[in-house]
Amino acid sequence: MSSLFGLDQSSRLVFVSEVSRGLACQCRCVVCEEPLVVRQGLVREHHFAHASGREPCDVSHESLLHRYAKQVIQDAGGLTVPLDDQVVAVLGMTPALAPAARLPLPKVELEKSLGAVRPDLLGHTDLGVTVAIEVAYSSFCDMVKVDAFAGLGLPVLEIDLSAFTPEAFSPLAVRDAVLDAVSGKAWLWPKAAGLPAEQPSVQALAPEPLGDLPKARLPEEVVTISGRRVAIKQFQSGDIAVKVIGYDPDVVSLVKSIAKANFAHYSPKWKSWNVPRWRAHIVRTALRAKAETVSIHLQDRNRS
Ligand SMILES: [Zn+2]
């Protein structure tokens, strides 16, 4: 159920804060297309209501987010995406040194089936390459779906919009997250192994530039916090495992609080916190911020 979105006179999806009050907005319900009015109750913020006084129609916030993201990308004619060699090759772009660039998408389709998969959005680049875009809200794209995209040779970009609940929705912040931000975006396929692009502090400490790491090997990172070593191991999926080596109640409790705040699960068997890939970068950054030293080790290919 949402009473926060309506359709304006040009059938564009508008958030309630983007329109004026009363009937002046000429908005219609996204489901039944009945006229809407903007109300502000004593306890609720501004919201849409059917002008007829009828109960609000049912529509999921997630599907509205898909539609909103599509509109934002379509209006801008593309979006900024993170880049690496594999992505550049698949997209047919000119190799560049920049870790991110604008990807022109003159055409964007909503929830269109393609073989066995139905991406949230399907974009078509100016070079004629089709790109799937998954909007991560209540769930993130699982490996089965990623494999299906890979089987089709369809590059798939995931955009994390999980922060934008109905209460926290902000048209400007969503526009920024969809169009300009790089941090909440990841290519699920093709996917380069290794660390996320933005790590100036670690590059300075690493024995060799991270860009030279062989793609098939995953680096293991060891940060030292209060004299204790904390290992961060990345899996092929992008998930990471965080493990305190040795025992120090303060360090264990610090790692636990960072991990738990980021949807990690504890593995008693490995005595490590397993962090889902969409929070991996946040956890890594938080641990580094607490660390005295950071070092990167190459894992043996057989162990990763
Ligand atoms: Zn309605």
pLDDT tens string 281-291? 889 888 988 88
pLDDT tens digit sequence for 1-28: 458 999 999 999 999 988 876 566 789 9
Torsion angle, CA of 261/265/268/272, rounded to 10 degrees? -70
Query: Can you tell me the distance from the alpha carbon of 264 to that of 249, in angstroms, rounded to the nearest whole number?
Result: 19
Query: Can you tell me the distance from the alpha carbon of 188 to that of 158, in angstroms, rounded to the nearest whole number?
Result: 7
Ligand 1 centroid to residue 75 C-alpha, Å: 26
Q: Mapping DSSP to helix (H, G, I), strand (E, B) and coil, where does residue 125 land?
A: coil
Q: Which range has the top average pLDDT, 33-42, 110-119, 137-146?
A: 110-119
Ligand 1 centroid to residue 65 C-alpha, Å: 18
Ligand 1 centroid to residue 36 C-alpha, Å: 8
Ligand 1 centroid to residue 70 C-alpha, Å: 22
At residue 218, the pLDDT reads 53
Ligand 1 centroid to residue 27 C-alpha, Å: 11
Block residue for tokens 């949807």: 263
pTM of the predicted model as reported, rounded to 2 decimal places: 0.63
Q: Mapping DSSP to helix (H, G, I), strand (E, B) and coil, where does residue 178 land?
A: helix
Ligand 1 centroid to residue 169 C-alpha, Å: 20
Question: Is the pLDDT confidence value at 215 over 70?
Answer: no
Tokens of 124: 């078509």
Ligand 1 centroid to residue 51 C-alpha, Å: 10
Q: What is the pLDDT confidence band of residue 208, given thresholds at 50, 70 and 90?
A: very low
What burial class does residue 251 get, using C-beta atoms within 10 Å of its C-beta: 0-12 exposed, 13-18 middle, 19+ buried? buried
Q: Could you tell me which of 166, 163, 132 has the C-alpha nearest to residue 150? A: 132
Q: Mapping DSSP to helix (H, G, I), strand (E, B) and coil, where does residue 77 land?
A: coil
At residue 22, the pLDDT reads 58
Q: Are strands 130-136 and 156-160 parallel, antiparallel or unpaired?
A: parallel
Ligand 1 centroid to residue 103 C-alpha, Å: 36
At residue 184, the pLDDT reads 93
- Kindly list the structural domains of the chain, giving each domain's residue range(s) and its CATH number in brackets, ordered by start: 5-50 (no CATH), 61-189 (no CATH), 200-298 (3.30.70)
Q: Which range has the top average pLDDT, 105-114, 143-152, 210-219?
A: 105-114
Q: Mapping DSSP to helix (H, G, I), strand (E, B) and coil, where does residue 286 land?
A: helix
Q: Mapping DSSP to helix (H, G, I), strand (E, B) and coil, where does residue 80 land?
A: strand
At residue 42, the pLDDT reads 65
Ligand 1 centroid to residue 11 C-alpha, Å: 14
Ligand 1 centroid to residue 60 C-alpha, Å: 13
pLDDT tens digit sequence for 86-138: 899 889 888 777 889 999 999 999 999 888 889 999 999 998 999 999 999 98
Question: Is the pLDDT confidence value at 199 over 70?
Answer: no
Q: Mapping DSSP to helix (H, G, I), strand (E, B) and coil, where does residue 25 land?
A: helix
DSSP state of 34: -
Block residue for tokens 């912040």: 173
At residue 141, the pLDDT reads 81
Q: What backbone torsions phi and psi does residue 12 show, to the nearest 5 degrees?
A: -90, 145
Using alpha carbons only, give the angle 110, 115, 120 rounded to the nearest 5 degrees.
Answer: 25
